[in-house]
Amino acid sequence: MARILVVDDESLVRILVADTAGGMGHEVLAAASLTEAEEKAAKGIDVVFLDVLLPDGNGLENVARFTRLPGTPEVIVITGHGSADGAETALRHGVWDYVQKPLKVQEVMLSLSRALAYRAGRNSATGRRPLRRDAIVGDSPALREALDLVEEAAASTVNVLITGETGTGKELFARAVHANSARCESPLVTLDCASLTENLVESQLFGHVRGAFTGAERNSEGLLRQAHGGTLFLDEAGDLPLAMQGSFLRALELRRFRPVGSAHEVSSDFRLVAATNKNLHEMTRLDLFRSDLLYRLRGLTITLPPLRDRTADILPLCEHVIEGYCAQHGAPMKQMAGDFMETVERYAWPGNIRELRHAVERACTAAHDDSTLYARQLPVEVRVTVARATIPCASEVDHCMPAAEGHDGTPMTLRDYKACAERAYVTRLLDRHGADVRAAASEAGISRGHLYELVRKHGLARDGN
């Protein structure tokens, strides 16, 4: 018997799932909100049926919370009728399956049976080693989703494509895939496509024999052969010269290639992990990247979140950088002052982790022997950007701030005035961003959960939210 949790604010949905799963011999718990669901799941759950639109938040945005509940349950999302976008979004959030409203008993039974069969097979497998994360720091839901895919990739031999903005840590994740795979004792060879020399790219990839061209005084193994038995990391894959993509595709498919100037092919047993910050789909549309190569690269895709979408990881990342800096320079560990923490959490970090690391290291350098880091030691660009976002101009203050008197003209208390100003701010925020909760929370510098709390507090819930 399994324990099933259904989370939906519609009583008919809860009853249908409860009757169906109960009829299959399972214990069923029901909840009408995210908060109630977490309370009900305290003793462990096997499968969660999760609605998208709930009174206290979006189910899809909380998938990671449910997968970390006791029992690490599988999640089946309940989507709106005929919502192809909803189904796609659900699967991209890493859920096990989705079912559409109006629910049908047979579909609920089939999805639940498959999830439990998968779970039984997974639990009967031999225990897995703890995931080696090395320098990957944080525990935000967005990061956990990416790490779950690393674990999945490491357990297979499928090609992996890692995408994400500049500075999000794509190379660290490539190394994590290799370090947790069966090939971890063999070499990880990096091929930086952005630094390939155009007239020597074929030699760099496939190697050459002595005399193949001017200056080829000895035989040379290419990077593909050097990766034999291990992993080839194709960094900046979008910069691989178009003229070489066909040859590389053939080598990728056959694991065989011909060194420059050689009459014979050589083989190499390598596992491919590629990374890019470019939109390869758009590049294929513009004939800048081969579509058949893209299909080969993306056996499993890991999309890394930008730092602005994992703000809970900012302070742990800062601590990690400070610890590394102090250890390298033989200095005592430095602490972060309140204004330092507030500034780094408010800044959007367009350069992501790379920009954060450089900024914190600069602050450590500027602090000299001081034991505490202050905001003034951060780069001026960071402080100015945060200040401009925090302090509105005079005209904005005049037009946006509520009056200090109530409707009857009597002065407001400070508490009432703060509440009124907070409600006005959240209202304008929702007007600008509509249903894009992630963008609204990012602009406000708060978590999505906090934004949902403010919306409920001031009665600002809108249709579709």
- Indicate the residue among 66, 99, 124 that finishes a domain: 124
- Indicate the residue among 290, 305, 320 that finishes a domain: 305
pLDDT value at 244 more than 70: yes
pLDDT value at 19 more than 60: yes
pLDDT score at 21: 95
- Same domain, residue pair 218 and 259: yes
Whole-number Å distance between alpha carbons of 45 and 76: 13
Whole-number Å distance between alpha carbons of 258 and 251: 9
pLDDT score at 122: 64
pLDDT score at 364: 96
- Indicate the residue among 338, 362, 390 that finishes a domain: 390
Cβ-contact 111, 99 below 8 angstroms? yes
Residue 376 covered by a domain = yes
- Same domain, residue pair 173 and 280: yes
pLDDT score at 126: 42
| CATH number for position 348 | 1.10.8.60
Q: Among the listed ranges 121-130, 131-140, 370-379, 414-423, which one has the minimum average pLDDT value?
A: 121-130
4: its two tokens: 């099933």
Whole-number Å distance between alpha carbons of 456 and 439: 18
Helix (H) or strand (E) holding 400: helix 394-400
pLDDT value at 225 more than 50: yes
- Same domain, residue pair 166 and 265: yes
Residues in a beta bridge with 190: 233
Whole-number Å distance between alpha carbons of 205 and 370: 49
| Peptide bond preceding 102 in cis form (omega within 30 of 0) | yes
- Same domain, residue pair 415 and 352: no
- Same domain, residue pair 162 and 95: no
| CATH number for position 29 | 3.40.50.2300
Residue 135 covered by a domain = no
Pick the more confident residue, 141 or 38. Answer: 38
- Same domain, residue pair 298 and 153: yes
Summarised one tens digit per residue, pLDDT across range 271-280 is 999 999 999 9
- Same domain, residue pair 274 and 166: yes
Share of the chain above pLDDT 90, in %: 52
Pick the more confident residue, 82 or 155. Answer: 155
Q: Which residues contact 394 (CB under 8 A, 6 or more apart)?
A: none
Summarised one tens digit per residue, pLDDT across range 110-155 is 999 999 988 777 665 545 567 888 889 988 878 888 998 998 899 8
Look at residues 420, 426, 427 and name the one whose alpha carbon lies nearest to residue 404.
420
- Same domain, residue pair 268 and 156: yes
Q: Give residue 268's domain range.
A: 141-305
- Same domain, residue pair 284 and 188: yes
pLDDT score at 394: 44
| CATH number for position 267 | 3.40.50.300
Q: Among the listed ranges 38-42, 53-57, 189-193, 213-217, which one has the minimum average pLDDT value?
A: 213-217
- Same domain, residue pair 163 and 287: yes
SS3 sequence of the chain: CCEEEEECCCHHHHHHHHHHHHHCCCEEEEECCHHHHHHHHHHCCCEEEEECEECCEECHHHHHHHHCCCCCCEEEEEECCCCHHHHHHHHHCCCCEEEECCCCHHHHHHHHHHHHHHHHHHHHCCCCCCCCCCCCCCCCHHHHHHHHHHHHHHCCCCCEEEECCCCCCHHHHHHHHHHCCCCCCCCEEEEEHHHCCHHHHHHHHHEECCCCCCCCCCCEECHHHHCCCCEEEEECHHHCCHHHHHHHHHHHHHCEECCECCCCCEECCCEEEEEECCCHHHHHHCCCCCHHHHHHHCCEEEECCCHHHCHHHHHHHHHHHHHHHHHHCCCCCCEECHHHHHHHHHCCCCCHHHHHHHHHHHHHHHHCCCCEECHHHCCHHHHHHHHHHHCCCHHHHHHHCCCCECCCCCECCHHHHHHHHHHHHHHHHHHHHCCCHHHHHHHHCCCHHHHHHHHHHCCCCCCCC
Residue 131 covered by a domain = no
pTM (predicted TM-score): 0.63
Give residue 451's region: left, alpha or beta (phi > 0; psi -120 to 50). Answer: alpha
Whole-number Å distance between alpha carbons of 42 and 29: 11
Residue 261 covered by a domain = yes
Mean pLDDT of the chain, nearest integer: 86
pLDDT score at 93: 64
Residue 19 covered by a domain = yes
pLDDT score at 395: 47
State how far the alpha carbon of 300 is from the alpha carbons of 137, 193, 274, 295, in Å: 22, 20, 10, 10
- Of these ranges, 85-89, 196-200, 368-372, the one predicted with the greatest mean pLDDT is 368-372
- Same domain, residue pair 51 and 195: no
Structural domains of the chain, count:
4
- Same domain, residue pair 169 and 211: yes
Residue 130 covered by a domain = no
pLDDT score at 345: 93
Q: Among the listed ranges 137-141, 171-175, 247-251, which one has the minimum average pLDDT value?
A: 137-141
Residue 298 covered by a domain = yes
pLDDT value at 417 more than 80: no
Strand pairing of 207-208 and 220-221? antiparallel
pLDDT value at 405 more than 70: no
Residue 464 covered by a domain = no
Pick the more confident residue, 67 or 123. Answer: 67
